[in-house]
Amino acid sequence: MSPRLPPSTASDALAIRRVEPAYPPPEAAPYDPDTAFPELPAAREWTEEDGHSGSLPKNHVFSAVRDLLCDLQLDVVHYGTPAWNPLGDLVPPGATILVKPNWVLHHNENPAGGMDCMITHPAVLRAVLEYAFLARPALVILGDAPLQGCDFGVLQRHAGLDRVVASFRARGLPLAVADFRRTILDPSETPGPRTVREHLRAEADYVLVDLGAESLLEPVSDHWRRFRVTMYDPRLLAAHHRPGVHQYLLAREALSADLVLNCPKLKTHKKAGLTCCLKNLIGINGNKEYLPHHRKGATAAGRGGDSHPRQSLLVDCLESALDLINRHRDWAGFYAFGERWIYRAENHLVRRHDPDAQMEGNWAGNDTIWRTCLDLNRALLYADAEGHFHDAPVRQELSIVDAVVAGQGDGPLAPTPLPTGALFAARNPALGDLMAALLLGFEPDRIPIVAHSLDAFPHPLVTLPAAQLLDGARTAFASAEQAGPTPFPPALPPPNWPLR
């Protein structure tokens, strides 16, 4: 069995399992259970009728996901019987459940990296969805907001994800797949500028949530005009984040859900240090213009910037050029030429003199992105379906993390594979990110998004002492590592991040 925390920390429970550090091959889709389970006769009968069970490679991660739910003590009274319904401990029949994977991009920008370390694998999602439907919901939504350049159709076909979806629909189960983006770059098979398409979903499909002065961005909002997000018009960002106003545009599906199953892919991240449970909630926001990622300017200049560490006239000029082209994204040719020129100048001029130089907050001094991410986590936990905050949490959240093959190095868009064979689950996303840091071999207190998630701010993410949570995570990690044949491999940190 995986290690369990004491009953007194049940609301912040954590579990970790180890499996073979590889996924079933794509021909195994729709990734049937690897054995017969008494609580899933419908899944077994369907796969047998369709001829899957005896002919396809087995999904060895399915049992691990199932074990995690047991380890969290969910419906433990009925475990091993046809009546076992672990997520029924969290929501009643007729609920709405959101399954939130990491679908950031349809390809790895590192040609040698592959997709196993990029997105949540469909083999994991098959198991998560199976137990979501066991809770007898009215609707399950599988949704995310990838980058604007992500080809959603290509993504849905990766590793047989479309066959996983089809397998549930063939059983008459209410599964919806949602792209939460309002802005995309049109996929193009021909060279040349890609068209920006905006307002793809109605504003009624979103809820405006304003954290106001309680936002974790408020302490740095003296420099609100410096808030930036790559590839988006800074004027639009300024309209939503300024002193006393901090607005996010959240997909209505997220705030209408009774239970959110957060299913991130564990990766290193050049802006945040790592991306796991907490960072994954960037994908419930519909317009990136609501998401400050960094603040323009050098930290050393003392004017509130955190984009890069040392003052550089050339970098300042390139950042201003980025602002110019981002104000004119509708001019496709101008935008494409400008973007290409700016990043070539960064690579060939700036880094020739300073190999560590960069723009856009891609370093350990980024003091903005963690604030945005923790705001989103607080909104998901405390905001109701109309965006109004409550004193107590209004919905359940459970994180099930795919780290069977994690991403290391230049994440999140160009990682290299890190086969760990790990799957872990947490009732609290902050506790999940503590485990993520330990699994990658990083010190949690060196990663702002992890360290600050334990802070005592209004509408907190944790209620237990940080030391107690860290001790619990270390105990669970050590037990899992000792139970395996070898220690977990240490990850390569992202560039400009000293994490050990």
Instruction: List the strands of the sheet with 241-242, edge to edge.
Output: 206-210, 245-251, 241-242
The answer for residues whose C-beta is within 8 angstroms of residue 471's C-beta and 6 or more apart is none
Give yes or no for a contact between 33 and 40, defined as CB atoms under 8 angstroms apart.
yes
**Dihedral angle over CA of 318, 320, 321, 322, nearest 10:** 90
> Crossing angle of helices 122-134/161-170, nearest 10°?
20
Burial 37-64 (b: 16+ CB within 10 A, else e): bebbeebbebbeeeebbeebeebbbbbb
Contact 99, 132 (CB under 8 A): yes
Beta-strand pair 227-228/206-210: unpaired
| Helix 332-345 and helix 313-326, axial crossing angle in degrees, nearest 10 | 160
Indicate if the alpha-carbon torsion angle 245, 250, 256, 259 is positive or negative.
negative
Picking from 406, 433, 432, the residue whose alpha carbon sits closest to that of residue 489 is 406
Collapsing DSSP to helix, strand or coil, 14 comes out as strand
| Contacts within 8 Å (CB) and 24+ apart, 341-346 | 342/318, 345/314, 345/318, 346/315, 346/318
DSSP classification of residue 260: E
- This prediction's pTM: 0.93
Angle at 320 between CA 318 and CA 321, to 5 degrees: 60
Q: SS3 sequence, 310-335?
A: CCCHHHHHHHHHHHHHHCCCCCHHHH
Strand ranges for 211-307 from DSSP E: 227-228, 241-242, 245-251, 259-263, 265-269, 273-275, 294-295
Question: With contact defined as beta carbons under 8 Å apart, do 319 and 307 qualify?
Answer: yes
- Residue 91 CB neighbour total at 10 angstroms: 19
pLDDT digits (tens), the chain, 500 positions: 333 333 323 345 899 999 999 999 999 999 999 888 999 976 655 555 555 555 567 899 999 999 999 999 999 999 999 999 999 999 999 999 999 999 999 999 999 999 999 999 999 999 999 999 999 999 999 999 999 999 999 999 999 999 999 999 999 999 999 999 998 887 665 455 567 788 889 999 999 999 999 999 999 999 999 999 988 889 999 999 999 999 999 999 999 999 999 999 999 999 999 999 999 999 999 999 999 999 999 998 888 999 988 888 888 888 999 999 988 877 878 888 888 888 888 877 777 777 777 788 999 999 999 999 999 999 999 999 999 999 999 999 999 999 999 999 999 999 999 999 999 999 999 999 999 999 999 999 999 999 999 999 999 999 989 999 999 999 999 999 998 889 999 999 999 999 98
